[in-house]
Chain A
Amino acid sequence: MIRYLVAVLLLINSQLLQAEYPGDSVFLLESGWYTQDSKKVYLRDLAGKKLVLAMTYTSCQHTCPTIVSNMQSIEKNLSEADRDKVRFVLVSLMPQSDTPEVLKIYANKRGLKGWTLLSGNDDDVRMLAMVLDVRYKAVGKKEISHSNLITILDDQGRIEQQILGTDSIPDLISEHLHH
């Protein structure tokens, strides 16, 4: 019963949201998430700044570390002024084990100051991955194979550019982030 009510409410809600955001905005997704500070946020709360976003998980041993360092290089190459207009976001593909506390430890260890790390639920992770075209597959219980993608969203949540996260071309991305 609850599911149907929720479904109907979500649809009504989405019609209201549509008035606010463009038709191809990721912020049309209703999902609620928890940050590394255990604060509840909706995706649309991240509007207003450009987003540099990747879907990874903290215990990932393969290319995730490279993706995160690439994002850090991008950050380093931004001027003070530009840095204020950009938010760096990591969304966990393993929300069950990447709780807010775990994310907090990870952020401190990697020096991700000012970044937003998000933990949600499996359903919402799948919806977001579908919207961003991020492929992923659980391998055993401890690993997830997934696309190496960094997505840049504009301040209204529209996908501006997507780049292979393992490329060492932070300059190109930074170009998008100037102006």
Chain B
Amino acid sequence: MRRQIISTVLFLLTTCHVYSENLPVENALVSAPPMVPPAITRDYPAKVIVRMETVEQVMPLADGVDYMFWTFDGSVPGSFIRVREGDEVEFHLSNHPSSKMPHNIDLHAVTGPGGGATSSFTAPGHTSTFSFKVLNPGLYVYHCATAPVGMHIANGMYGLILVEPKEGLKPVDREYYVMQGDFYTKGKYGEAGLQPFDMEKAINELADYVVFNGSVGAMTGEKSLSANVGETIRLYVGNGGPNLVSSFHVIGEIFDRVNVEGGTVVNENVQTTLVPAGGSTIVEFKVETPGTLIMVDHSIFRAFNKGALGMINVVGPDNPAIYSGKQFDSVYLPEGSAVQSIPGETQKLDIANSLAEQNRFGKRTYETNCQACHQVGGIGIPRAFPPLANSDFLNQDHQRAIDVLLHGMSGKVVVNGEQYNSSMPAIGLSDHDIANVLTFLLNNWDNSGGQIAPEQVKQRRLEGNPVQADPAH
């Protein structure tokens, strides 16, 4: 008989020994966000082996902002696990040798002490193994439960495990994995560099970032989710917290079905649904028209000032019977971190000493304050936010450009032949920042070049006015 050295807590393992004698064994279906593993096709229980690794690594939290994330499988959220009601799960949790901390896992799907956390406490460079049976169907959060728990969760140690009901789920065309989390950094939103975790802010629930899938822009621009007109989309939405509850809403859609709190009760025709911290929801909707759908936490400052915004790009033929053209049904005032400046408040100034520095600082300012709407590469969003790339409007009149940023603009405007009719708010940035960002824009993305000096901005601040756009320009 083989000799084994078995880790200390074994009572669940002995249960496994009894149950799994007759079950077929297979490797679990897991996937990295935002993808979801395919639906389970078997109609009998199995012994499912899950192998996950906890690893601590520095990754971007936002452009220019790095953070030491503690992760399951190197992503925030961690891998999505898909099992079936009645399965026996044999869980192997490895803690990467480079980790500073011990880690474990508490799966809300587990009925048993600590949700498995007691059995899975693992030192760096080691693996713990434990087993459990999934008794209840539903969409469950898992997270690290090593003390101090708040810190482990705040650093990104959470994910979702889906326990399909015995009869399976109704098939849909697309399934995606979205998980919200709040982050607390020493520096404020957008402050560059490696930002350490701030325990005091976390205790006081003063989040600097609220994001989907671990970073600002994780599902925007090129990383938007995709779908075709006519498809039914199902989103498995979790909220790792640690603190904030999410008011999950998709701009441009109504949820046809909502599995309230990720459980069995179904609500229909819902605009915005609550996702508790440490909880989940499942939403389904059919997309009828092309365009960009925007996922937000409808506590709206989180969406536009802290990063709780993701996109679904729907392609296909127009359907004017359903939607005539105006994509957004409300006005958005994206502001990034900039606020109407309060007199007397000292602000950190990025003082550039050369064109190259203006370019560099301006790029950072763009990413923090403008990119949410005008997008990566300044390509804008059709019918919503004008492009800044190769923009005739921008290149024609530098002084007007300065005025737009300083004093705002409203009314119809035509840019590169397309009409836009939104509101651009005054951006509360310093003279230097405005000079830098405009210089950056003028010298990139096929624009005509040029340089704006802070003195010019200062002058327009005194003399300029809000710009009334003229459709006949």
Q: Which residues of chain A have a CB within 8 Å of any CB of chain B?
A: 133, 147, 149, 154, 158-164, 167, 169, 172, 176, 179
Residues of A contacting B8 with CB < 8 Å?
133, 147, 149, 162, 164
The 8 A CB mask of B1-40 against A (1 = contact, 0 = none) is 1011110111100100100000000000000000000000
Q: Is the CB of B14 within 8 A of A159?
A: no
Among A149, A158, A167, point to the contact of B3 (Cβ < 8 A). A158
Interface residues of B in 324-350 (CB under 8 A from A): none
A-B contact pairs, 9 of them (CB 8 A): A149-B8, A159-B5, A162-B5, A162-B6, A162-B8, A163-B6, A167-B14, A172-B14, A179-B1
CB distance from A145 to the nearest CB of B (A): 15
Residues of A contacting B3 with CB < 8 Å?
154, 158, 160
Q: Is the CB of B11 within 8 A of A161?
A: no
Interface size, B (range): 10 to 19
State the majority secondary structure of interface residues on B.
loop
Cα(A147)–Cα(B9), bound, Å = 10
CB distance from B121 to the nearest CB of A (A): 12
CB distance from B171 to the nearest CB of A (A): 43
Q: Is the CB of B11 within 8 A of A167?
A: yes
Residues of B contacting A163 with CB < 8 Å?
6, 10, 14
Cα(A17)–Cα(B169), bound, Å = 62
Q: Is the CB of A164 within 8 A of B1?
A: no
CB distance from B219 to the nearest CB of A (A): 45
Q: Is the CB of A169 within 8 A of B14?
A: yes
Return the chain B residue nearest A167 by Cβ.
B11
Residues of B contacting A176 with CB < 8 Å?
1
Known: A159-B5, A161-B6, A172-B14. 17 other contacts (CB 8 A): A147-B8, A158-B3, A160-B4, A161-B4, A162-B5, A162-B8, A163-B6, A163-B14, A164-B8, A164-B9, A164-B10, A167-B10, A167-B11, A167-B14, A169-B14, A176-B1, A179-B1
The 7 closest A-B pairs by CB, nearest first: A160-B3, A159-B5, A167-B11, A164-B11, A163-B10, A162-B6, A169-B14
Most interface-central of A133, A154, A160, A176 (chain B CB within 10 A):
A160
Cα(A34)–Cα(B1), bound, Å = 33
CB distance from A173 to the nearest CB of B (A): 10
Residues of B contacting A159 with CB < 8 Å?
5
The 8 A CB mask of B237-250 against A (1 = contact, 0 = none) is 00000000000000
Residues of A contacting B10 with CB < 8 Å?
162-164, 167
Cα(A160)–Cα(B6), bound, Å = 8
Cα(A169)–Cα(B14), bound, Å = 9
CB distance from A8 to the nearest CB of B (A): 31
CB distance from B16 to the nearest CB of A (A): 12
Residues of B contacting A147 with CB < 8 Å?
8
Cα(A133)–Cα(B17), bound, Å = 23
Residues of B contacting A160 with CB < 8 Å?
3-4
CB distance from A171 to the nearest CB of B (A): 10
Cα(A163)–Cα(B10), bound, Å = 6
Return the chain B residue nearest A158 by Cβ.
B3
Residues of B contacting A167 with CB < 8 Å?
10-11, 14
Most interface-central of B3, B4, B11, B17 (chain A CB within 10 A):
B3
Cα(A125)–Cα(B8), bound, Å = 19
Residues of A contacting B14 with CB < 8 Å?
163, 167, 169, 172
